[in-house]
Chains A and B, each alone.
Chain A
Amino acid sequence: MAGTPVQVTGTVLTTRRVDAYHALTVVAPGIAERFRPGHFVSVAVGGAYTSMVTRRALSVHDVKSDYGGTVELVFTVRGRGTAWLAERRARDTLDLVGPLGRPFPLPRDPAHCVLVGAEYGSAVLFPLADALLARGCRVDFVLGGAGAERVFGAMRARRIAETTTLTTEDGSLGLRGKVTDALPSVIADTRADAVYACGPMETLRAVTAVGMEFDIPVQVAVEEQMGCGIGVCMTCVIPVIGDDGATRMVRACAEGPVFRGERVRFEDVGTIPFDALGAPGGGARHVS
């Protein structure tokens, strides 16, 4: 079944720096063939005798069928685990589990899609763009970051998209400001039918707000702290409104990471909203 995750020992094929980011291409056959845009993988870090017991979630930036199937991961060094990953070299092995999560839903008919990426969040949008183009969709990119070196994938976006709009907060590349400052005019100019976005929660909240103003659907890929990535530890929950109108604390790894933007209660992330199913006082009794 497509999407059923597997665990594989992958071999690093190449490592490179892409602007401010690290990119690793890993031979990971079982994962590459099951992959769909939006999926992520989890990587064990630190080696066999590591003191780091949780895996690191990373989006899949690219898959290729070379070498039996490779996946490319793009990441920024945040803590000890990603620092260890940045030191991997060709021929090192990596323990990967994937593909994980729910991928981006694709429009049934050719549509005009705007893809919005902030920082390394852009990485996950490229396989999505390929899938949309293959379905005859029009693709336009809005990519941003704090500075020029933190805008990921500008060249590739220019190559494949109808238009590419770049933003930086320091004005070193493209328009000065955030992706959401540029988004309304891109939606208007392209007469977009849908928006796809990946980046920090704050960006996703703002992109969703813009999409709602234009009354077009927004699909967001969220990032929440993850312990297992496979849906068993319950640490990655965010408040999401279900089809029945009820808010539930749902797992970003198993029910997500892709959600419809207007269903995510961004302003309540990091809390248990009082009206969430099973919230203290909200129907259920609080026992701890």
Chain B
Amino acid sequence: MSVDMRTFLAHVELANPITTAAGCAASGRELAQFFDLHRLGALTTRSITMAPRAGRPTPRMAETPSGMLNAVGLQGPGIDAFLERELPWLAQRGIKTIVSIGGGTVAEYSELARRLADAPGVTALEVNLSCPNMEDRGRVFAREGSAAAEVIASVRSIMRYDVPVVAKLAPDVADIVAVARACVDAGADALSMINNPLGMAIDTEALRPSLAAVTGGLSGPAILPLAVRCVWQVHAALPGVPLIGIGGVMTGRDAFQLVLAGACAVGVGTALFHDPYACLRIERELEDLLRARGFQRLADAVGLAHRPPGSAPRHLLVDTEESAP
């Protein structure tokens, strides 16, 4: 018996729930050396910016217990090169593509959306809200409901209706539910959670910060519980909103936790650095776990852990043998 792994990101159907996390699969070509990208539920690009960006100085990476810090600084060739070379490559191959965008002002996000609105091959648009807002003393958009909402409203008004707009939230905020609600009220069709919380490591040989940028984003298994908590809280408050759970997913069991907390899709980031085949392996492991527990559909497991203690799992309440036509 195979499990129906299809999932919906708003009204867009994905063949399975596993996607790459923004910034962890570049624009696809590197992973395509290893496997057929059609086997992903979707590929999420790195965050595309208006102008080319050289990013931060090196060292940009420091391994930390069960995780790593990165300070890449959104290095990339900018939207023109993306539209010219990277997106067509994905579009021609029919790969489901979630395009991530990043900007420093609301106008910059709107302009990026405008440039992508007519581009073929955009399955969904993910708005990386973890960029510093240049018009608000560098305060990160995702840290403030109203700033995040302003970006989302403007992007949503520009993007075509059939392209879902996904707001990507940061975990290090006082009230993630409030930010999530502000984004949904502003028109976000789905939410991605979580981006990297900020961390720091100090090199005890050099007696200096390990990263040139001093602080960096923490990723990997160390943040899985943080992601599970965020997905749980937001699903509890906004049960109808599709969530992409991201953060520290290395195995199918990690993905399953996020699904049970309320995610209908799962992003895989740092695991790709460890294992280029991570997405395929995690998808298979997740399917095996679902099958072993009697699920016929992934959808039946989404948010299941929220049921009151003592109640039987939904999917086991129906006698599926009998009800099947």
Contacts and interface: CB of A to CB of B under 8 A. Distances in A.
A76 to B, nearest CB: 15
Given A232-B26, A234-B75, A270 B212 contact: yes
Contacts, number: 140
The residue in B61, B270, B274 that gathers the most chain A C-beta atoms within 10 A of its C-beta is: B274
Given A7-B276, A227-B273, A51 B70 contact: no
A248 B81 CA distance: 14
Nearest to A233: B273
B274 A287 contact: no
Contact of A249 (B33, B55, B61, B63): B55
B63 A283 contact: no
Interface string A9-37: 00000000000000000000000000000
B213 to A, nearest CB: 9
A284 to B, nearest CB: 4
B66 A53 contact: yes
A278 B59 contact: no
A119 to B, nearest CB: 17
B273 A237 contact: no
A288 B73 contact: yes
Contacts of B171: none
B51 interface: yes
A235 interface: yes
B143 to A, nearest CB: 14
Given A5-B33, A53-B221, A287 B104 contact: yes
A224 interface: yes
- A interface: dominant SS: loop
B286 to A, nearest CB: 18
Interface string A208-234: 000000000000000011111011111
A234 B53 contact: no
A190 to B, nearest CB: 35
A288 B63 contact: no
Given A230-B276, A287-B103, A235 B30 contact: no
A272 B51 contact: no
B84 interface: no
Nearest to A235: B61
Contacts of B134: 287
B58 A270 contact: yes
Contacts of A269: 58
B60 interface: yes
Interface residues of B, number: 54
Contacts of B102: 287
B284 to A, nearest CB: 15
Nearest to B28: A232
Contacts of B67: 53
Interface size for chain A: under 10, 10 to 19, 20 to 34, or 35 or more residues?
35 or more
A83 interface: no
Interface in A246-264: 248-249, 254
Contact of B75 (A6, A53, A249): A249
A233 B274 contact: no
B55 A287 contact: no
B78 A232 contact: no
B26 A270 contact: no
A233 B75 contact: no
Contact of B72 (A224, A233, A248): A233
A193 to B, nearest CB: 33
Contacts of B30: 230-232, 254
B270 A249 contact: no
Contact of A235 (B72, B103, B108): B72
A285 B51 contact: yes
A126 B275 CA distance: 29
Contacts of B74: 287-288
B75 A97 contact: no
In the complex, the 10 A-B pairs of residues with the closest C-beta atoms, listed nearest first: A287-B104, A278-B52, A284-B51, A228-B273, A235-B61, A278-B54, A231-B30, A51-B66, A235-B60, A278-B53
23 contacts: A4-B33, A5-B34, A51-B221, A53-B67, A54-B273, A55-B274, A225-B59, A225-B60, A225-B61, A227-B273, A232-B25, A233-B72, A234-B75, A235-B72, A249-B54, A270-B57, A270-B58, A272-B54, A276-B54, A277-B52, A278-B77, A284-B78, A287-B74
Interface of B: 23-26, 30-31, 33-34, 46, 49-61, 63, 65-68, 70, 72-78, 102-104, 108, 131-132, 134, 212, 220-221, 250, 270-277
Given A225-B60, A284-B52, 11 more contacts: A7-B276, A227-B68, A231-B26, A233-B70, A237-B60, A254-B30, A278-B52, A278-B76, A278-B78, A287-B131, A287-B134
